Structure formats: structure tokens, C-alpha cells
Structure 1
Amino acid sequence: MISRTALCALVAALALALLTVTTDAHSWVECSDWRPNNKNKPAWGEKDGKCFGYARRFPITQKVKFGGRDSRDEDKGIYNRHFDQGRGNNAPPCSNRKNGAEKGDDETRGKKSVGDAYGGKYGPMATTSAGETMCVRWPAKTHNDSDDHKVMINMQKTETKEDPSQKELDGLNIAELAFSNCNGLQKDNEKNDNSPCGGCFNIRKDQKPGTYMVQWQWRLNDEMYTSCYDVKVLAK
């Protein structure tokens, strides 16, 4: 029979483990083309708009709740969406399931064409026009009070056959968003794991029609989390 002291120690250890899992949660792009019902006052809840685009190879056929893609089981083909790329110009800009400080899902460019990473079991590619406003949506993952941790939106200016390096992307920034732009949050930060957050930005006015890679980069202390997706810019 387990003693009261041992039982208390076990309960404390389990509580600490659960707290650690919650605290260490990190974010990613759940929707790359979020279209809010109210364009003048965007909100991020399920009833506040609709998603028309996703990150590369985002498995929409897997029925997972918003913000729930932070577990990994390679034997079952399940991969977490958060990806810590690591530091430096040689850090991989997009997750490939292999490299980085913390491996994520496969968000590399389509092998034969950019469109290979979309459609079917994956979500559709985002679409827009030059000069238009786009919105992107992500889960808080308990970091909704991280006012000093920004989201950088880096976007190609010209079409290429390969993704830019991180050094190149750093010079292609078009917007800086507040990570903590969330709505409907509870007072207890730990309960905001799957709460929706988001931000909007403008596509370059001189962006020519074509398909361009976009990197969502969240800078959290010494960690750099990214999501990669493509945007098809249509002619007006």
C-alpha cells in the first residue's frame, strides 16, 4: 500500500509534468487566409470568419480541434505543426520533419509544383491580389500575453523555383504583427492553450500575379518558430 507521503509526491510530480507540457506549448499557422466577417474589426473565433487557405500539407482531413496539432506520433503518421527552426542564417526556413531545433511537419515546397502541397487531403492554397489585406490565424498556446514577442511576415517579391534561404527571407519582411492579438481569452493564461489569435497585413501594391512563398516567423525569446505557406496573387 502506498504511503501518504509517496502519494503526495506522485501527485505533485504529475501536476508539475502537466504544467510543463502546457507551458512549453508553441504556436503555428492554423489558417493562412482567414477572412473575417467584419473586415473593419477582425476577430478570430470559429464564428468570426472562415478559412480559405492553409500552410503547406496541412492535413484538413484529420479531424483535430483548433490548436490541437501539437503532438507527434510518427508511427501513426501524426506530426506536430510547431517548428523551432533554430538560430542563424543556415537555419531551415521551413520544417522538413528532419532538421531544426524542434522538428515539425513537412512544410517544404511541392516537389513537382508548388500546388503539390495543397488540395486533396491537404488544405487549399491562399489567394489574394496586389495591395489587398490578408489575415492569418494561430493558436495562443498559453502565450497570449507575449506582447514583446512579434510575428514577422516574410514574403517573396519574385517567383523562384526554390524557397529563399532564411537570410534572404529576413530581407523580405512585409509586416510585423503582435502575437498576443487574441480575443475571447480567459483570465487564467494557462487555459488559453487553444484560444484563437491572428493578425492582418497588406500585400505589396506592386506584387505581380504569380505564386509566392510566405513565412510566418514567431520570435519567442531565443526560439524561432515558423510556418510556411504559399499565396497565389491574382490579377485584378
Structure 2
Amino acid sequence: MLAKTTICALAAAVIVALMTSTSEAHSWIDCTDWRITNKKTPWAANSGHCVAWGRQFPMKTDKKTGKQTVTAPFGKLDSADPNRHYQQNPKDFTSCSDRKHGIEPGADESRKNPITSSYGNKFGVMASATPGQEICLRWPAKNHAVSSETKMAHRSFVFWDPKPVTAGTKDPTEKQFYGKNSDAYTKANNGGQPQMDGNPYFIKEIPYNDCSVIKGNTDLTPCGGCFNVPKTAKAGSIYMFHWRWQLNPNEYYTSCWDIKITKPATSSSKLVAGSNSTVFSDLESF
């Protein structure tokens, strides 16, 4: 009888632990340039492919072929060391994780010198785009794209630094991203929104819950959204981009990456999507 009781207690503890780890999962930008091939289920693994990733995104590179593959399945980097998701600390709201600040520091996404050192080899490729080009992002739902979540949790915002990344420069602060209107910044941290009109840092609000649903798996359900690179971006320069998602009041998660701006393709030189592939499938079924 005692043994049976002990087994039941252990089983209950395991279930509670699993439920806790699932409910506390948080998101990040898993792909900074997702090329959609099927608009019916745009974020599913078989409906597109990723050609670029965020700063210091962990990858494996085949020394012979140079082919890159991700080090973990889609949506699993929250259990990596360091984990990919970064929760800001309300005391400073450091815009990009530097492994020092934050309630959950996350992986290092701070600005390096040169910035190209955060890409290639053991890290993912930097995104490239032309001025005005549409870029699509992809992220795992992590159980927060469901209808029971607050309206607050269904919003995310995309920003950029309108000044090119150059040696010695720093990433903008979160307050800079939210505009000169300090009241907008204060309200945003409690479920509001950033200053949009006249704010050179703000690009677009993207619904967090735009997902290609995997039945019975709200954790690994893939979600995404698209935005246009500002037309003022200059070819030959690299610009920093920033995604911010709010789960609860004063509970924010961010991702940072860079995009190299190229000249628009001519009729004799068309832009071709990359062909990087992942070693893991997303285990998605519909």
C-alpha cells in the first residue's frame, strides 16, 4: 500500500513538473527570414524554409560542404543552455540580451564589433534584403497563442535602428524604440502600445497568434508575421531589428537581429531565396 502511494505521489509530481514547464514556456524569433511556399499554412515546416537567423543563433556547420543545420528542433531552444528566450527586467528593460541583464538573461544577442562576428560558422546566417522588401519572421507559440490568453499576449511589435550598425555604436534602448513620447512608453509596459506616428524606430505591430496550428500541441505550434524593410534603408549598410512581445504587464520578451541591405535585383540578376535546411523536422501534422 505504501509503495503504491509513493508511486502515485511521484507520478503526480512528474505531471505537475511537466505542466509547470509547459505553462512557463516563452517565445523568441526562431527565424528572421522565413520564405513561404504555401500560403494556406504559411508557418508550417512543409510550407516554407528559413534562410536567416538572429544574432549568435546556434548552428552546426559541415566543414566539408559548409552546409548549416540547426542544433535543436524547432521550438526547443528554451531548454538549451543558454536558452534562447530573453525576459527583460523592468528595472532597465535592456533591449537585447547581453547575458547579464534580465529576469531570464537568455542567449547573447548584444551588438558585437564587428557585427558580422555574430553570424556564420557556429552561428546562423545574417538576413539580407532590399529597401522595401517584405520579410517574414517565425516563432513557436509556446502555449501562448490560445484564445484564453489576454489581448495583451496576442500583440508583438517590430522595430529597427534607423542608423546603420557601425563600429563603436550601441543598440537603441527600449525607451528609444518606443518613441519620444515617454507616456506611450509607460503605458506600453502595462499593455499599451509604442508611439507609432512620427516614431522613426517603429515599423509594425504583428499579431502574436497568427499560427499554423498543430492539433494538440500548442507548445510547438509555429506562428509568424511579416513586415517591410523601411525604404530609407541604404544599400551596403547593415541595420539592427528588434521584436518585442508582451505576455503580462511588465513581462516582455525580445529578440534582436540584423539585416544587410542590398541593391534591388535587376532583370538579369534576380534575387534567389536561400536553400539552408534544418536537420530536424518540426514534427508538424494537420
Which residue pairs with 1:75 in the alignment? none
Question: Are 1:20 and 2:20 matched, yes or no?
Answer: yes
Residues 204 and 163 of structure 1, relative CA distance in 2, 3 Å threshold: same
Pick the structure with greater CA Rg.
2
Q: What amino acid is the match of 1:153?
A: V
Question: Are 1:165 and 2:164 matched, yes or no?
Answer: no
Question: What is the root-mean-square deviation of aligned Cα atoms in Å?
Answer: 1.8
Residues 135 and 147 of structure 1, relative CA distance in 2, 3 Å threshold: farther
Which residue pairs with 2:276 in the alignment? none
C-alpha distance in 1, partners of 2:119/2:142? Answer: 26
C-alpha distance in 2, partners of 1:129/1:16? Answer: 48
Cα offsets for 1:101-129 (capped at 9, x unmatched): 1110111112x211110011111101111
Deviation at 1:133, TM superposition (A): 0.7
Cα offsets for 1:137-157 (capped at 9, x unmatched): 001111121472211101111
1:22-61 equivalent positions in 2, closer than 5 A: 22-38=22-38, 43-61=42-60
Which residue pairs with 2:205 in the alignment? 176
8 Å CA contact retained: 1:147, 1:178: no
Residues 42 and 175 of structure 1, relative CA distance in 2, 3 Å threshold: farther
Q: What amino acid is the match of 1:202?
A: N
Cα offsets for 1:74-116 (capped at 9, x unmatched): xxxx31000001225x321111122101110111112x21111
Question: Are 1:225 and 2:253 matched, yes or no?
Answer: yes
Which residue pairs with 2:138 in the alignment? 137
Structure 2: give runs of 5+ residues left out of the alignment: 61-69, 180-200, 265-286
Structure 1: give runs of 5+ residues left out of the alignment: 73-77
Say how many residue pairs are matched: 225
8 Å CA contact retained: 1:107, 1:227: yes
8 Å CA contact retained: 1:147, 1:180: no
Q: For 1:154, which of 159, 165, 181 is the aligned residue? A: 159
SS in 2 for 1:20: helix
Cα offsets for 1:188-221 (capped at 9, x unmatched): 4xx2212211001112222222211111111111
TM-score, with length taken from structure 1: 0.89
C-alpha distance in 1, partners of 2:150/2:120? Answer: 35
Deviation at 1:41, TM superposition (A): 5.6
8 Å CA contact retained: 2:41, 2:212: no
TM-score, with length taken from structure 2: 0.74
Structure 1 vs Structure 2: percent identity of aligned residues?
40
Deviation at 1:159, TM superposition (A): 1.6
Q: What amino acid is the match of 2:223?
A: C
